[in-house]
Structure 1
């Protein structure tokens, strides 16, 4: 009697998306740790080809295999299944924020729920800014880019004149002040504050 063959059905699209997400997260975790597929294969006893297929979302791994790969990557297995953390901030839902300075209008662009980064857009009127008293921020790094106009920055004893398109980054715990030196033109500035914790 002839053996009846059936064509393999392609995985359901949501299952396929789940496989791709798991594979993507495994690949990112491996690359972040500077590991090769060969080193993961050696640690887990799985073949390089199988691990490569899992990373590309082309193969489904058993719970045991996933646990072994996660163990090799020192990564909790639950992280493979966490929904992506996406935060959205709609312009229509944001209001102005008066954070600091004179002749300054701030708008916090960071969506709620973000704790390790803050993005602020500031419009600085001619002669406006934050001076004369220097300030420090309890964050690790401060990045600033001038979107329009000019901005004069003083960090500790050093002065910098930033023009449109210029950017700089510095340790936000250093005392600093800033102002728009123009007598006629507004400055528009984007600040990014980051913390590792």
Structure 2
């Protein structure tokens, strides 16, 4: 006898599989073939009408480029939410900036976000990250962003999006602390 909880779990898991498959622009047939299962079975799994074995789920996960945990883990506050009162700023010996992580970093996440507090009159500093793309949003103050040999002054509520392979640096050009939100995608290698 199948319980309501098991039906709900199958439906949620199936929806996650379908959603990811569609985001990747893969057909049912392509995904089923890569997963080593039949197209009708995958269709039933996606609609919550069938539950895959761990072996089949592993095949589906591999076909979609994720770990099995992607389909098994449920959202939790510890993994998904960062409370403002729990932000902890930290620094590095070679930087006057302070940083606070705004995201939790479970395996497989594609984004990392940080708050950066820059003291007034800060010297230009090269920004080194392990990101492929970066996005910054100026919350307070003025920030001078240099990409290669071009410099842009960003005021509060301005933003910039760029590839981190481009030589870049930041400087606080305000006479008070500037606060920036930084978001980046980790490298894939």
TM-score normalised by L of structure 2: 0.70
CA distance in 2, matches of 1:77, 1:97: 31
Check 1:29–1:119 CA distance in 2 against 1; reply closer, same or farther (3 A cut): closer
How far is the alpha carbon of 1:110 from its aligned partner?
2.6
Instruction: Map residues 42-61 of structure 1 onto 2, 5 A cutoff.
Output: 46-47=39-40, 54-57=45-48, 59-61=49-51
CA distance in 2, matches of 1:39, 1:175: 40
Check 1:98–1:163 CA distance in 2 against 1; reply closer, same or farther (3 A cut): same
Specify the alignment match of 2:12 in structure 1: 21
Check 1:181–1:39 CA distance in 2 against 1; reply closer, same or farther (3 A cut): closer
Alpha-carbon contact 2:16-2:71 (below 8 Å) kept: no
Alpha-carbon contact 2:45-2:52 (below 8 Å) kept: no
Is 1:82 paired with 2:76? no
CA distance in 1, matches of 2:159, 2:146: 14
Specify the alignment match of 2:103 in structure 1: 110
CA distance in 2, matches of 1:25, 1:161: 42
How far is the alpha carbon of 1:189 from its aligned partner?
0.7
Which segments of 5 or more consecutive residues in structure 2 lack a partner in the other structure?
none
Number of aligned residue pairs:
180
How far is the alpha carbon of 1:191 from its aligned partner?
0.7
CA distance in 1, matches of 2:114, 2:184: 8
How far is the alpha carbon of 1:157 from its aligned partner?
0.6
Check 1:154–1:92 CA distance in 2 against 1; reply closer, same or farther (3 A cut): same
Between structure 1 and structure 2, the one with the greater Rg is 1
TM-score normalised by L of structure 1: 0.67
Which segments of 5 or more consecutive residues in structure 1 lack a partner in the other structure?
1-8
3-state SS, counterpart of residue 173 of structure 1: coil
Is 1:156 paired with 2:148? yes
Is 1:141 paired with 2:130? no
Check 1:117–1:36 CA distance in 2 against 1; reply closer, same or farther (3 A cut): closer
How far is the alpha carbon of 1:121 from its aligned partner?
0.6
**Residue by residue, what CA displacement relative to the aligned partner does 1:11-53 show, whole Å, maximum 9, x if unpaired?**
5331122111221132024213423347668996555xx7655
CA distance in 1, matches of 2:101, 2:52: 45
How far is the alpha carbon of 1:145 from its aligned partner?
0.7
Alpha-carbon contact 1:142-1:193 (below 8 Å) kept: yes
Instruction: Map residues 167-178 of structure 1 onto 2, 5 A cutoff.
Output: 167-178=159-170
CA distance in 2, matches of 1:106, 1:80: 29
